[in-house]
Chains A and B, each alone.
Chain A
Amino acid sequence: MSFQLSVQQLSCERGGIELFAGLDLAVTGGDIVQVAGPNGCGKSTLLKTLATLSSHYSGEINWCGESLHQVRLNFLSRLLYIGHKTGVKLQLTARENLAWLYPGPGSQIQIEEALAAMRLAGYEDRPCYTLSAGQQQRVALSRLLLSDAPLWLLDEPFTAIDKDGVEMLEGLLEKHARHGGAVVLTTHHTLGCEGMRTVNLQDYVPVAGVGT
């Protein structure tokens, strides 16, 4: 069950501009890592790269000691990625938005419980365009309760979430870490999670002229 995602000398680019370089990072069970930095410094790009969605990088990314791209399916089966674009389809109801990601038998009840835990009880069967931005975000975050993946990559999970919600999510992250999971997240909130590490991408600004 133990796992390790390790990154060596990673540099990423977006639109031909190198965003950061020389990043070393190791994430194992029990870790909560906050990726920090100003807008445009490459936080989302880093998470996309770690989630195998972006190939514009150099350096090494290893999953349990093997190159990420060689063990991609194994990696994906243990990954939960919620991007900045959360994947919530506005024409679908909250229930339908989750049903296609968690098809198996019995998942109907789990989905209902997860939505209720996210304070969306009573909103399960309304189209998501009738929900507020925070509620839509909660629909996406219900996946934290449904997924059994140990590694969570969360891009701005607290967007539009209210104060109580942030506290509840912090509790969820801590619980996940206590149970041997790992979380890498980007956020501008100041979090009070126990044992959280912060990686500031500003410390890895590429030396001018090297990348070009």
Chain B
Amino acid sequence: MSSGRDNTQAQHGYALAMLKRELILAYRKRGDLANPLLFFVMVISLVPLGISPDSSLLALLGSGMIWVVALLASLLSMDSLFRGDYEDGSLEQLLLMPQALLAPVLMKILAHWLMTGVPLALIAPLLAVMLSVPGEALGVLLLSLLVGTACFSLVGAIGAALTVALRRASLLLSLVVIPLYIPVLIFGTAAVHNAASGLSSAGPLAILGAFLALAIALAPFAIIAGLRIGVDG
């Protein structure tokens, strides 16, 4: 009994230590992490210049634009998720941990989401105001992006794991991952559209939540398998 509890405690210890390590690393490399966010802000600010400053047109396009660019920005940050660990050998050490890898891998992705997805979601309502998205849709936009970017991080990590050993893998990564991003995009934009036109967005949000639950349950297995293949070479 007590060894079982010790074991669980040890697992928590490893998971927390991993989360701490990832957050420290992200802080030290904050320049890299600013890139997707900067990309997001820049592209969205170019939309009114490139398309039209007409607010009724922007309101129609705005939420969709924000979701598409958030998807691309999230994709931009995926390539480096496991690359550094692969190159310096810490990925080997991760795979050799004498315990289930589920928790450490999930923590790695949690850290990635906290450092990329959450800032994207938080800044989105601000940009939405700039694109004249109706005020009543802003809350739903924030919520849907929080859930959506978490899905992106989990699913993107599968692609990042599969392509970790390849050089110049960004194109392949996009090809692997974008088809899996599409359902999230569809229901994410549907939620915001519904809210903007005064309808209930509970349905699309619930489906987004279901995607997230599914991704949390299944993605780690694919990620771990992908990492093993990558290290195996």
Instruction: Name B residues whose Cβ lies closer than 8 Å to a Cβ of A.
Output: 10, 13-14, 16-18, 20-21, 24-25, 28-29, 84-85, 87-90, 92-93, 95-99, 231-233
Contacts and interface: CB of A to CB of B under 8 A. Distances in A.
A31 interface: no
Contacts, number: 78
A87 B93 contact: yes
Contact of B25 (A54, A84, A92): A92
A91 B233 contact: no
B88 A73 contact: no
Interface string A80-102: 01011111111110001001110
A101 B95 contact: no
Contact of B21 (A79, A81, A99): A99
Given A76-B96, A100-B21, A91 B90 contact: no
Given A54-B233, A79-B96, A127-B28, 17 more contacts: A55-B232, A56-B233, A84-B89, A85-B88, A87-B90, A87-B92, A87-B93, A88-B90, A89-B85, A89-B88, A89-B90, A92-B25, A96-B21, A100-B17, A100-B18, A101-B17, A103-B17
A101 B99 CA distance: 12
Interface of A: 14-15, 51-56, 73, 76-79, 81, 83-92, 96, 99-101, 103-104, 127
A175 B75 CA distance: 50
Given A83-B89, A86-B89, A53 B95 contact: yes
A103 B6 CA distance: 13
Contacts of B20: 99-100
A53 B232 contact: yes
26 contacts: A14-B233, A51-B92, A53-B92, A53-B232, A56-B233, A73-B98, A76-B97, A77-B99, A83-B89, A85-B88, A85-B92, A87-B88, A88-B88, A88-B90, A89-B25, A89-B84, A91-B28, A91-B29, A92-B28, A96-B21, A100-B14, A100-B17, A101-B93, A103-B16, A104-B13, A127-B28
Contact of B96 (A81, A89, A91): A81
Contacts of A54: 232-233
B84 to A, nearest CB: 7
A87 B87 CA distance: 9
A68 to B, nearest CB: 13
A53 B89 contact: no
Contacts of A100: 14, 17-18, 20-21
Contact of A73 (B24, B25, B29, B99): B99
